[in-house]
Structure 1
Amino acid sequence: MTIDDLTAAVLRISDLYAAEHDIDRDRDWALLKLQEELGELTAEHLRLTRRARGTPDETALGDEAADVLGMLLIYCARSGVDVEKAMQRKWLKWLEPAET
């Protein structure tokens, strides 16, 4: 599955969720939800590293990471960010051979 395929699937699921719960999902909503999901990922990390109360759950960490990625993809789509191009420009360029 490509990033574009994953984004399209996540957006379809987000459309279903929004219709079911009558949520207006603009760019601000997506950014705020991304922050919320990052907080939940942080909470799970703290539980797993025994720095917070609660029972650690290894699957919850992956679930929260998936929520962060999903919301990031939604935010990027709402903001017109091409994630593949941005990753190439910002990160993957370092794997390319240097020009001589």
Structure 2
Amino acid sequence: MELSDRLEKLSARYGEHVGFERDGDWFLLKLQEEIGELTQAYLQVTGRSRAKGKSAEELRDAFQLEFADAFCQLLLLARHFDIDVPREIERKWLSHE
């Protein structure tokens, strides 16, 4: 099973459990939420926000987990809109090599 299939299964189960429809708006807004959390973790790990009693290791771990959240949500958004990620990366970035 591909990563996006596994993520979709988990996300769908979450939507059912909480009781909301995962439409295009939700996927984009959820990504925005996750980017906000990633930004907060980044500010903490780089010493530009209060550490709230967390060690450097805990801050680094939180940053890595928030990165995973944002990345997975981005993949779910791409899946929802049927975006072929490798093809679009090739078109937008790698075509300039």
Structure 1 length as normaliser, TM-score? 0.84
1:58 matched to which residue of 2? 60
Classify the secondary structure of the residue corresponding to 2:71: helix
Structure 2, unaligned stretches of length 5 or more?
none
Structure 1, unaligned stretches of length 5 or more?
96-100
Deviations 1:15-58 (A, max 9, x none): 11111111210011000010110010010010011111123511
Amino acid at match of 2:85: V
RMSD over aligned Cα, in angstroms? Answer: 1.5
**1:1-100 counterparts in 2 under 5 A?**
5-54=2-51, 55=54, 56=56, 57-95=59-97
Amino acid at match of 1:76: A
CA displacement at 1:79 relative to structure 2? 1.5
How many aligned positions are there? 92
Amino acid at match of 2:86: E
